[in-house]
Amino acid sequence: MTAATVKQTLAGWGRYPQVASQVARPDRYAEVAAWAREASLARGMGRAYGDAAISAGGTTVLMTRLNRFISFDADSGLLRAEAGVTLDEILQVVMAQGWFLPVTPGTRYVTLGGAIAADVHGKNHHHVGSFSAFVQSFELFTPAGALTCSASENVEAFNATVGGMGMTGLIGEVTLQLKRIQSGNMLVQHLPAPDLATALALMDSPEHDDEYTVAWIDCLAGGKHLGRSVFMRGHHAEGPLTAGPGPARLKLPVNLPTLALNRYSVKAFNAFYYRWEGRKQKSFHCDIAPFFYPLDGIRDWNRLYGKPGFVQYQFLLPPETAAAGLKSVLERLAKSGNASFLAVLKRFGPGGSGLMSFPAPGYTLALDLPLRHDTLALLDTLDAVVLEHGGRVYLAKDARLAASNLVRMYPQLDEWRRIRATLDPDRLFVSALGQRLEMC
């Protein structure tokens, strides 16, 4: 018998859309199998931006109380834990012992289950691939029963679940290979790139390559400054080992007025940031937290976008078309007057085995856009540019893509559907995203 459920309004990190939901919050691992027979979606920390962690009906199972560590071998770096353990909780245990996450997204407040379901990537994708490359195995609870999935066992279920956005069942215990570090320090360098071509050249150049690379783009700069960026690179340095990152020191207590983030405030910020950050051309040391998780320093920073919320538009373009496609997107964005406070460019290496995983060779740009009356229409035009250039949109960030575009972006969608149907023939596991995109 499963525990009681409560009514709760759920949203993603962008706070759009918001959906009245039926929510369960099991705290014993033994309950997971029962929930897999009647639930319709797992939810971790709700850091997916759009509607990926909202169920289309039925019960949403909050996994965050299933957060027990099962074992950690400090010699091999092999960790086994329940899927509700967050990356932050892992760092608190392993960093002082000389271990780190092999791949980490830009926030540490995501669960192991969420990291697998979105097959998350970090600033080192061009060297090591995405999260699933380090997942040795996980338990998958489906309506038909439990499976152990890995690259050699129940391989189809593994490949459909990594990047499968929760729609193959509930991920239970996870075994993850961590990465050795010598210290809690990073050696970092910031270089200004006056335009897009320079930013892409820096990302491509073996001379400027590093373990981690990323570029912040001033997406309001136009004309000859289009794509003006600060290129950032870094690697783990030598030095003393440290404890995991501390908690956020600041908190945004209320929603900001909708007008606070506008074209003018963002333009002023961008001009300042480009000069300030671009000036640090000498290498410098910094802690893990500001390098990997700059936004985690402010709790509830998503309130910055006011009551209507915001959308993140993250897309990928293949290497051959990236320069032209990025130029076209940035031009349209600048012309629309929509101001993205945050615009982050990363380089991807080869994709992994996940049938619906986002990463593939090329470049990815993530834009945070406040929800205005014209934002969704603008994003439809950007979808057309992305498709024209052979790219795709990241489902973990999406709240509004049209179903007709999904199949053109994810060529393995039909294969994923076939495998998913064997795991969940009665279509119990469907998110609002899956329903909108007609995935199941």
Ligand X SMILES: Cc1cc2nc3c(=O)[nH]c(=O)nc-3n(C[C@H](O)[C@H](O)[C@H](O)COP(=O)(O)OP(=O)(O)OC[C@H]3O[C@@H](n4cnc5c(N)ncnc54)[C@H](O)[C@@H]3O)c2cc1C
Residue 77 or 354 with smaller CB distance to ligand X = 354
- Three-state DSSP class for residue 201: helix
Report whether 153 contacts 210 (CB < 8 A): no
Residue 137 or 431 with smaller CB distance to ligand X = 431
At residue 12's C-alpha, the angle toward residues 160 and 40, to 5°, is 50
What whole-number distance in Å separates Cα of residue 376 and Cα of residue 365?
Answer: 17
Report whether 340 contacts 192 (CB < 8 A): no
Q: Is 354 in the site for ligand X (CB under 6 A)?
A: no
β-pairing, 250-251 with 298-299?
parallel
Residue of 166, 192, 227, 309 that binds ligand X (CB under 6 A): 166
Residue 105 or 184 with smaller CB distance to ligand X = 105
Q: Which stretch binds ligand X (CB under 6 A): 43-51, 68-76, 238-246, 414-422?
A: 43-51
Q: Which stretch binds ligand X (CB under 6 A): 112-120, 200-208, 320-328, 404-412?
A: 112-120
Token duo for residue 20: 């009245």
* Smallest distance from ligand X to CB 136, Å: 17
Residue of 106, 129, 245, 370 that binds ligand X (CB under 6 A): 106
Residue of 13, 216, 363, 416 that binds ligand X (CB under 6 A): 13
Cis? peptide before 17, omega within 30° of 0: yes
* Smallest distance from ligand X to CB 261, Å: 16
Q: Is 44 in the site for ligand X (CB under 6 A)?
A: yes
Number of C-alpha atoms within 13 angstroms, CB side, residue 393? 31
Q: Which stretch binds ligand X (CB under 6 A): 165-173, 237-245, 256-264, 399-407?
A: 165-173
* Smallest distance from ligand X to CB 20, Å: 17
What whole-number distance in Å separates Cα of residue 155 and Cα of residue 132?
Answer: 12
Residue of 10, 11, 24, 52 that binds ligand X (CB under 6 A): 52
What whole-number distance in Å separates Cα of residue 34 and Cα of residue 356?
Answer: 27
For residues 232, 236, 242, 243, the Cα torsion angle rounded to the nearest 10 degrees is 70
Count of residues in the chain = 440
Report whether 236 contacts 211 (CB < 8 A): yes
Residue of 25, 47, 392, 400 that binds ligand X (CB under 6 A): 47
Q: Is 94 in the site for ligand X (CB under 6 A)?
A: no
Token duo for residue 351: 């994709």
- Three-state DSSP class for residue 39: coil
At residue 222's C-alpha, the angle toward residues 268 and 317, to 5°, is 110
Q: State the binding string over 60-89 for ligand X (x if CB under 6 A, else -).
A: ---x-------------------x------
Q: Is 270 in the site for ligand X (CB under 6 A)?
A: no
Q: State the binding string over 179-218 for ligand X (x if CB under 6 A, else -).
A: ----------------------------------------
Full strand arrangement of the beta sheet holding 41-43: 6-11, 18-24, 59-62, 41-43
Q: Which stretch binds ligand X (CB under 6 A): 21-29, 36-44, 70-78, 191-199?
A: 36-44
Report whether 66 contacts 32 (CB < 8 A): yes
- Three-state DSSP class for residue 165: coil
Residue of 396, 399, 409, 423 that binds ligand X (CB under 6 A): 396
Residue 218 or 296 with smaller CB distance to ligand X = 296
Q: Is 371 in the site for ligand X (CB under 6 A)?
A: no
Question: Which spans in 95-233 are helix H?
Answer: 112-117, 125-128, 155-161, 196-204
Residue 142 or 328 with smaller CB distance to ligand X = 142
Q: Is 230 in the site for ligand X (CB under 6 A)?
A: no
Q: State the binding string over 302-341 for ligand X (x if CB under 6 A, else -).
A: ----------------------------------------
* Smallest distance from ligand X to CB 75, Å: 28
Q: List residues bridging with 187 in a β-sheet.
A: 235, 285
Residue of 45, 181, 316, 326 that binds ligand X (CB under 6 A): 45
Name, in order, each residue with C-beta under 8 angstroms of 238's C-beta and a sequence gap of 6 or more. Answer: 182, 183, 185
- Count residues binding ligand X (CB under 6 A): 33
Q: Is 406 in the site for ligand X (CB under 6 A)?
A: no
Residues interacting with ligand X, by CB under 6 A?
Answer: 13, 41-48, 52-53, 63, 83, 105-107, 110-111, 113-115, 117-118, 120-122, 165-166, 170-171, 295, 396, 431
